[in-house]
Chain A
């Protein structure tokens, strides 16, 4: 079981992801609606994994990722993107993102990616 922080300005996306993560036995420790709130929540909640949307108001997911990685170089962040944002995914990986998932969501894929990222940490 992992502690997950969900970062997405869309309630629909947060709800869908929460349902998937909880079905996999993970615990949702917080939900942030923009990248700026995500940084503060990361520091406060210390999640095992962060699910980070890219396109958000106030602060986007890439910038938030950079701040989180600066604060905690061992942070595990999985980016959530729409199809067609390949350049953003490449950029995110460059800044330390562990993996990415795309919308529309596929339950099996999300569960597989997050479980893999969680397990990597446990193996280390």
Chain B
């Protein structure tokens, strides 16, 4: 994620080319080893145990290490130890920039602060990006006035990383007044009896990202933004919202998933309350995550 965010920023400001960006991502992918693999190689877990943790991870919105602790396979100290073995993505990114002879030294270290400042993001995002902590990173993109959507956005991004592609970048969440559809999108409403906790989440095409997400999630090769592609993203939303509903049920709040809605025509929507948009990039291609209550 970190390499995607900072790498794509460098493309946007003309410091590196798209080809160099893709090469950077390949290098950082190769360097980053999953926690489960490290646990097995260190003799702390068996492969069967990692499979069980991965299965559970598909159903609850928790990190691998947290689930392994819950299931009694690892202790917190062991998870902390394994995390020290996992290469920090920001460090790997800087190393890759240097190895590719793109940006070095002081200039490389300034990228993160320039990125935060240029994009009007929270200052604490710089430290979050350096840490590689996904939860802290995601929160850095949500302005205070949109914190009511923090949980949904967090679950959405983490589920996309887990079920679509690890190479996700995002941009600052912003309030929008209405939604004018000039393309395609899939939406799903999560309802509750009182209407207090209800919201609608959608994924909308921007510049190739919706089709990319549809293909990666369904493991298919759709060529057009047709009903198959819309349906794939609708199912992705179903998974995201299902995890959110599951989380809320542990807090004693019962919510209901309504059947997804797929949109392939121009339509205008105006939210009753607050509507926000989070631009996403999946392997450099854009789509939008939309939320309103």
Question: What is A's interface to B at a CB cutoff of 8 Å?
Answer: 9-13, 15-16, 55-57, 81-87, 102-104, 106, 108-109
* Chain B minimum-CB-distance residue to A81: B242
Q: A10-B238, A82-B242, A106-B58 are in contact. List 4 more A-B contacts (CB 8 A).
A: A12-B220, A55-B259, A82-B238, A85-B245
Asked if B161 lies at the interface with its beta carbon under 8 angstroms from chain A, I say no
Neighbour of B59 across the interface among A12, A56, A102, CB < 8 A: A102
Contact B242 A103 (CB under 8 A): yes
Query: A56 to chain B: closest CB distance in Å?
Result: 6
Neighbour of A84 across the interface among B227, B232, B246, CB < 8 A: B246
| Known interface pairs A82-B257, A84-B255; A104-B239 also in contact (CB < 8 Å) | yes
Tally chain B residues at the interface, Cβ within 8 Å: 33
- Residues of B with C-beta under 8 A to A102: 58-59, 242
A63 to B169, CA, bound (A): 42
Query: B229 to chain A: closest CB distance in Å?
Result: 9
Contact A10 B235 (CB under 8 A): yes
- Residues of A with C-beta under 8 A to B156: none
Query: B135 to chain A: closest CB distance in Å?
Result: 19
Question: What is B's interface to A at a CB cutoff of 8 Å?
Answer: 51, 55, 58-60, 163, 217-220, 227-228, 231-232, 234-235, 238-239, 241-249, 254-255, 257-260
- Residues of A with C-beta under 8 A to B232: 11-12
* Chain B minimum-CB-distance residue to A19: B219
Neighbour of B259 across the interface among A15, A16, A57, CB < 8 A: A57
| Known interface pairs A84-B242, A106-B58; A12-B218 also in contact (CB < 8 Å) | yes
| Known interface pairs A103-B239, A109-B55; A84-B249 also in contact (CB < 8 Å) | yes
Contact A84 B239 (CB under 8 A): no
